[in-house]
Structure 1
Amino acid sequence: MTIAPVQRPASKAWTDAKLILALEEVVETELNRHLKAAKEWMPHEYVPWSQGRDFDGVLGGDAWSIEQSKITPLGRIALVVNLLTEDNLPSYHHEIATMFGREGAWGTWVHRWTAEEGRHGIAIRDYLLATRAVDPVELERARMSHMSAGFESDNAHSMLQSVAYVAFQELATRISHRNTGHFAGDPLVDQLLAKIANDENLHMVFYRNLLKAALQLAPDQAMRAIADVVTDFRMPGHGIPGFERAAAQIAIGGVYNLRIHHDDVLQPVLRHLKVMEVDGLGPEGARAQEELGLFLEGLHAQAVRFEERQAALLARRAANAGRR
């Protein structure tokens, strides 16, 4: 899809308010495209309710124990991280509604996005509890802790930084869900996460196309925003209790790691935007473009080192397993 060039005004600096107004038509176009592309799906259809039974507590059911779960250990870790990330939706809604507003095409998109994201957490939690895949007590305590801390984007200090962040983050979330489904060991949860990943991909396309229009409109400011977000990117779930340990296991297991982040998240979006091909930039834009190029080179080198460590660790694990 091509986006019609947006006329640049004489002014070099854009305020957030002016950018939001100038991009309203693009938002409306992207919203209409999204509504045509989005396919309705029902979360309850992917939850095996017949497997559910009462837990201990008020109803006097059976206490949870890990052998009741049929998903893989890696799948369990990744599913919990993915769910807790989705749980912070009220904070995410507050962030984008405050930044983009609740009126016109922007407001319609904010509410539509929130509605679609809301079903992700509902569906994953229902699946986990119905199948006894995780400890429900620990899950609820982690939810309370994570949501009590709220969320504030590291980079979302401007409208352009907000758009740039979600363009990359939505693709990262899509890949995390999709890979989690592949590694979870249950075909049903793989189907469920494929539906969720499809939603996330459509969200990514919306924000990516919006970012493309912003890059045409205010190239220097947009380039600066992209460089700031890419060079300091963190997933929105970084505040989850025990996130660093979980992230390490997820990385080694191949759900999401530096190589995936570089190859499957950053590069596809940057190539689509042709960020490194943008010319005619002012000093600040050119500096941001150069910083971005250097950062990507360094990240690729880090990914190579990670892959070497990953391969060595997995080889040791395989050898140890063979001796048992």
Structure 2
Amino acid sequence: MTTAIPRPTGRAAWSDSQLLYALEEVVETELNRHLHVAKEWMPHEYVPWSDARNFDGIMGGDAWALEQSKVTPVGRVALVVNLLTEDNLPSYHHEIASLFGRDGAWGTWVHRWTAEEGRHGIVMRDYLLASRAVDPVELERFRMSHMSEGFQSDNAHSMLHSVAYVAFQELATRISHRNTGHESGDPVCDRMLARIATDENLHMVFYRNLLGKAFELAPDQTMCAVRDVVVDFRMPGHGIPGFERAAAQMAIGGIYNLRIHHDDVLQPVLRYLKVLDISALGPDGLKAQEELGMFMGGLNEQATRFDERREALLARRAARGR
């Protein structure tokens, strides 16, 4: 018989163990909802196998060349970043399994999430190699370098920080995949990434709803965690070789930038949960809420300045191209 973990009284802080126990019921509810709405799909059905042929090396095929790629330059950059991000799945699994546990509803969710994320890496790599979208040698060297470094979350302060982070990160990943497909110039790539994005959206909904329940249980702690995550947010692929240059190209290419981050990732989650309207907060929660609001205002101003610089840059490029 499982012994119930006592809840804190008054405004006493919740421990990770207390929150894990208190949230188990909503995890089970969200897990069942996810399993009901998630559709089975097969990675091999999204790969253009008829386009594939042997590469050079022991198979004696053709070496990769840039002109073989059907995707746009910014599409190639984003596809590599997106796949290498997925490649660090073993590290992500270790992080969330260590925080959330491997038993009960939490454990079932952790393993299900890992299996679904693994499918994303499978289909993306198969597509890239079959279609010769990117240099396979460079891709493998980047993978080895990136995975050798592993991954450690910037937001490992608490279980609440982790839940808050993935609520935003899953949506950010969905947006990045979807925009990459749109900008790729290849309908096959667009269809594949749209399917991946559907999964990522379901993952976001799971964590967003969990975060909403956490606000009900521990509003001050959850507000502080959201403030910390939003202010210091970085995508999990930030350790990829050459990430800063790739991120700049993706920002200019309209795949992921400050405006998208503000409008399409942070704001939707904050609005859905009514984070900036939550009342009955203690001093720490009120301070975190105020700082979060100020940060979002400043981020919007930064995004506006970025938009202006981006438009000017694109105009200059267009003028040189005429």
1:59-118 deviation digits (Å, cap 9, x = unpaired)? 111111101111111111100000000000000000000000000000000000000000
CA contact (8 A) 1:49 1:130 kept: yes
Q: Could you tell me how far 1:8 is from its partner in structure 2?
A: 7.4
> How do 1:132-151 residues align onto structure 2 when only pairs under 5 Å count?
132-151=132-151
Matched, 1:75 2:75: yes
Q: Residues 115-134 of structure 1 correspond to what in structure 2 (within 5 A)?
A: 115-134=115-134
Alignment-derived partner of residue 101 in structure 1: 101
Distance 1:125 1:243 in 2: 19
Q: CA RMSD in A?
A: 0.9
Instruction: Give 2:106's aligned amino acid.
Output: W
Give the TM-score of the pair, scaled to structure 2.
Answer: 0.97
Distance 1:199 1:156 in 2: 24
Partner of residue 172, structure 2: 172
User: Which residue does the alignment assign to 1:260?
Assistant: 260
Is the CA contact (8 Å cut-off) linking 1:215 and 1:223 kept in structure 2? yes
Q: How big is each residue's C-alpha offset from its partner over 1:300-323, in whole Å with a ceiling of 9 and x where there is no partner?
A: 00000000000000000000000x
- Verify the 8 A CA contact 2:276 2:289 in the aligned structure 1: yes
**What SS does the aligned partner of 2:70 have?**
coil
What TM-score results when the alignment is normalised by the length of structure 1? 0.96
Aligned to 2:190: 190
Q: State the distance in 1 between where 2:11 and 2:176 align.
A: 40
SS at match of 1:23: helix
How many Å apart are 1:167 and its aligned residue? 0.1
* Structure 2 counterpart of 1:215: 215
The corresponding residue for 2:25 is 25
Q: CA deviation at 1:292?
A: 0.0
SS in structure 1 opposite 2:59?
coil
Q: Which amino acid aligns with 2:95?
A: E
Alpha-carbon displacement from aligned partner over 1:92-151 (angstroms, at most 9, x marks no partner): 000000000000000000000000000101100000000111111000000000000011
Match of residue 296 from structure 2: 296
Match of 2:224 in 1: 224
Q: State how far apart, in whole Å, the 2-side matches of 1:9 and 1:47 are.
A: 55
Secondary structure of the structure 1 residue equivalent to 2:280? coil
Instruction: Report the 3-state secondary structure (helix = DSSP H, G, I; strand = E; otherwise coil) of the residue aligned with 1:284.
Output: helix
Is this contact kept in 2: 1:80–1:139, CA < 8 A? yes
TM-aligned CA deviation for residue 156 of structure 1: 2.0
What SS class does the counterpart of residue 223 from structure 2 fall into? helix
1: CA distance between counterparts of 2:188 and 2:54?
21
Partner residue in 1 for 2:3:
none
Q: For residue 290 of structure 1, what is the amino acid of its counterpart?
A: E
Q: Evaluate the alpha carbon distance shift between residue 230 and residue 297 of structure 1 in structure 2; reply closer, same or farther with a 3 A threshold.
A: same
Q: Which residue of 1 aligns with 2:4?
A: none
C-alpha separation in 2, matches of 1:306 and 1:127: 33
Task: Kindly provide the CA deviation profile for residues 138-184 of structure 1, in whole angstroms up to 9, marking residues without a partner as x.
Answer: 00000000000011111122000000000000000000000000000
Q: Distance in 2 between matches of 1:177 and 1:159?
A: 27
Give distance in 1, aligned partners of 2:188 and 2:60.
Answer: 28
Report if aligned partners of 2:8, 2:14 keep a CA contact under 8 Å in 1: no
What letter is aligned with 1:219?
P
* Partner of residue 12, structure 1: 12
Report the number of matched residues. 316
Residue pair 1:8, 1:218 contacting (<8 A) in 2 also = no
Letter in 1 for 2:294: L
Contact 1:220/1:281 (CA < 8 Å) preserved in 2?
Answer: yes
Q: Report whether the alignment pairs 1:272 with 2:267.
A: no
Aligned to 1:42: 42
- Code of the residue aligned with 1:207 in structure 2: it is Y
- Measure the CA separation in 1 of the matches of 2:66 and 2:59: 20
Q: Which residue matches 1:246?
A: 246
Match of 1:114 in 2: 114
Asked if 2 retains the 8 angstrom alpha-carbon contact of 1:8 and 1:217, the reply is: no
**Aligned counterparts of 2:89 and 2:174: Cα–Cα separation in 1:** 16
Distance 1:74 1:292 in 2: 32
Per the alignment, in what secondary structure is the counterpart of residue 54 of structure 2? coil
* Consecutive unaligned residues in structure 1, runs of 5 or more: 1-6
Distance in 1 between residues matched to 2:78 and 2:172, nearest whole Å: 13
**Secondary structure of the corresponding residue to residue 64 of structure 2:** coil
Alignment correspondent of 2:163: 163
Superposed displacement of residue 9, structure 1: 4.1
Q: Percent identity?
A: 77
8 Å Cα contact 2:128/2:134 also seen in 1: yes
Aligned amino acid, residue 204 of structure 1 = M
Q: Which residue of 2 aligns with 1:4?
A: none
